[in-house]
Structure 1
Amino acid sequence: MAQIRLKNVSKRWNKFIGVDNFNLDIADQEFLVLLGPSGCGKTTTMRMIAGLEDITEGEIWIGDRMVNKLEPKDRDISMVFQSYGLYPNMTVYENIRFPLKVRKVPKEQHHERVMAASKMVELDDFLERRPAALSGGQRQRVALARAIVREPNAFLMDEPLSNLDAKLRVSTRAQIKNLHHTLKRTTVYVTHDQIEAMTLADRVVVMNKGVVQQVGTPMEIYDRPANTFVASFIGSPAMNLVSGSIENGVFSSDGIRIEGLPHRASGAVTLGFRAEDATLAEANGQIEAPIYTVELLGEATMLSMRVAGELVSIKVGKDYRAEIGELARIAIPASACHIFDQSTGARIEA
């Protein structure tokens, strides 16, 4: 069993706070993603779980053991890093085998376990090559196999796809998802890429400046962001956010007016809505503004307009054609709107 618990965990360097009072229970076999921009504390959190970084305050438990003072080698975890960390003078076979030698696993088990790990990541044809003869994607698969071969209770992955090109990221992401389904091991995965978080995670922890902003399933975070930071970080494109005011369920700002909002809030607020929730209107749209850009995406067309000083994106049909500068009328259902406190950024519930 590899439930991981963080209780009031903080990390400080003098006056700088890297992680502030982090509390979380990660279930056995869960795939948890730590998501946020550079410097938000996600990698520091993972390194504290691994034992590569001392904690300033709090407790970290793996299973029924508090591991604050345990060395990384004694925590029964495997790590996969952004830099592959392969030994250039060893073959792929020997790189995969190396953790077994270090941990003094009986030699008679080595070949079977190396071959099983290699098969999982489709490396059987490359076992005699050295890392220099491999592509980036193949090297990352060697790193994955080296983590798998140890058969740990938990995997920790620090931005393992960030060095790969777009096509390889997609295929390797699918491989990681399938491996988690097959191996059924607790996994903590660090990324700044919200698409990776949405596609891989059972739950996502969104962090900013060392503080947890929201914890939830990918759809909970996408559909009900806790604040404007989460709303602006999740989604491609991110949620549109427009400052204005609301009175008696009517939001208004320069170039936009939406009636029938089921909110008791009044005064200065921030309105949020997703690009895909808006539609073109022949007349009486909630937004009327000149088109700023037209982007053909293949499956859809993305329009952008300047509304209340913000650039707003709208996703419309792939066959839509328009010129920059043309007036567009956009309908936004009241049910698709999110309201946030303008001063704190916190979500205001209906």
Structure 2
Amino acid sequence: MAQIRLDHVSKRWGNFVGVDDFHLDIEDQEFLVLLGPSGCGKTTTMRMIAGLEDPSGGEIWIGDREVTSLDPKDRDVAMVFQSYGLYPNMTVWENIRFPLKVRKVPEAEHEERVARAAAMVELEDFMHRKPAALSGGQRQRVALARAIVREPQVFLMDEPLSNLDAKLRVSTRAQIKNLSHELKVTTIYVTHDQIEAMTLADRVVVMKAGVVQQVGTPTDIYDNPANTFVAGFIGSPAMNLMEGEITEGTFKGDRVSVPGLSGANGKVTLGFRAEDASVTEAGQGAINASVYSMELLGDATMVTVRAGGTMVAVKAAKDYRARIGEPVGIALSEGITHLFDATTGTRIA
């Protein structure tokens, strides 16, 4: 069993706070994604779990052991890095076998365990090549196999897809998802890519400036963001956010008027997703503005309008067409808008 507990873990360098009071229980076999922009503390959190960084405060537990002061080799974790970290003078077979050799696993087991790990990531035909003769995607699969062959309690993956092109990212992401299902090993995955987080995770931890902003399933975080940071970070495109004021149940802002809102008065931020709005005739929508740009996405057309100083994106039908500068209306469906405190950014229930 590899349940992980981060008990009020912090990391500081002088006056700089890298991670602030991180408290979370990660379930056995859970796939947890740490998500956030560069410098938010997600990699530092992973490095503390791995033992590569010492926490400034708090405790780290893996299973029933406190591992806060243990060396990395004694924590039974395997890491997959962004940079692959392969040995260029070794073949694929030797690279995958290397962790078994270091940990003094009986040689009689090496062949079977290496072959099994290689088969999981479809590397059987490349075992005698060296890394220089492999593509980026193949090298990343070697790094995955080298982690799998150890059969650890915990996998730690630090932006493993960042060096791959868009097509390879999609296929390798699917492979990681399938491996997680097959191996049933607790996995912590670091990324700044919200699409990776949404597609891979059982739960997502959204971080900003060392502080956890929200923890939840991908669906919960997408549908019910805790604040404007999460709303603006999750989703492609991000949630539309418009500043304004509610008076007598009607939100009014620059070129926008939305009636039927209760539970808040005064200055607020209104949020809604691109797919929860629709393009209608000029003067007939909650938002009335001119087309700023149009993007054909294949399955839809992304229409962007400029409402005052705010860009608003809306998904229209794939055959929708309009000229740049043409006036249009944006209709909002009832019950799909989100309200946030204008000062703190916190969601208003």
Verify the 8 A CA contact 1:205 1:212 in the aligned structure 2: yes
Q: Secondary structure at the match of 2:151?
A: coil
Q: Secondary structure at the match of 1:336?
A: coil
Partner of 2:295: 295
Partner of 2:271: 272
Percent identity over the alignment is 72
Equivalent position amino acid for 2:238 in 1: A
Q: CA deviation at 1:216?
A: 0.1
When the two structures are superposed, what TM-score results if normalisation uses the length of structure 1?
A: 0.99
Q: CA deviation at 1:248?
A: 2.5
Q: CA deviation at 1:251?
A: 0.5
Q: CA deviation at 1:30?
A: 0.1
Which deviates further from its counterpart, 159-168 or 302-311?
302-311
Q: Secondary structure at the match of 2:2?
A: coil
Distance in 2 of aligned mates of 1:122 and 1:264? 55
Partner of 2:122: 122
Distance in 1 of aligned mates of 2:96 and 2:144? 9
Q: CA deviation at 1:334?
A: 3.0
Contiguous gaps of at least 5 residues in structure 2: none
Partner of 1:259: 259
| 2:252 paired with 1:224 | no
Partner of 1:90: 90
Partner of 2:160: 160
Partner of 2:7: 7
Q: CA deviation at 1:102?
A: 0.2
Partner of 1:38: 38
- Aligned residue-pair number: 348
| 2:250 paired with 1:250 | yes
Distance in 2 of aligned mates of 1:62 and 1:116? 26
Verify the 8 A CA contact 1:304 1:314 in the aligned structure 2: yes
State how 1:183-202 maps to structure 2 within 5 Å.
183-202=183-202
Q: Secondary structure at the match of 2:52?
A: coil
Q: Secondary structure at the match of 2:264?
A: coil
Deviations 1:283-339 (A, max 9, x none): 621111000001111110011111131111011001001100001111002311000
Partner of 2:55: 55
Equivalent position amino acid for 2:26 in 1: I
Partner of 1:342: 342
Contiguous gaps of at least 5 residues in structure 1: none
Q: Secondary structure at the match of 1:280?
A: strand
Partner of 2:22: 22
Q: CA deviation at 1:136?
A: 0.2
Equivalent position amino acid for 2:284 in 1: N
| 2:31 paired with 1:64 | no
When the two structures are superposed, what TM-score results if normalisation uses the length of structure 2?
A: 0.99
Verify the 8 A CA contact 1:121 1:175 in the aligned structure 2: yes
Distance in 2 of aligned mates of 1:321 and 1:303? 9
Partner of 1:203: 203
Distance in 1 of aligned mates of 2:345 and 2:308? 18
Distance in 2 of aligned mates of 1:248 and 1:28? 49
Deviations 1:135-191 (A, max 9, x none): 000000000000000000110000000000000000000000000000000000000
Q: Which runs of 4+ in 1 moved over 3 A?
A: none
Verify the 8 A CA contact 1:259 1:334 in the aligned structure 2: no
State how 1:89-108 maps to structure 2 within 5 Å.
89-108=89-108
Distance in 2 of aligned mates of 1:337 and 1:249? 13
Distance in 2 of aligned mates of 1:319 and 1:87? 51
Distance in 2 of aligned mates of 1:280 and 1:342? 27
Partner of 1:147: 147
Deviations 1:231-282 (A, max 9, x none): 0000000000000001222111110101112x31100000000000001223
Verify the 8 A CA contact 1:248 1:264 in the aligned structure 2: no
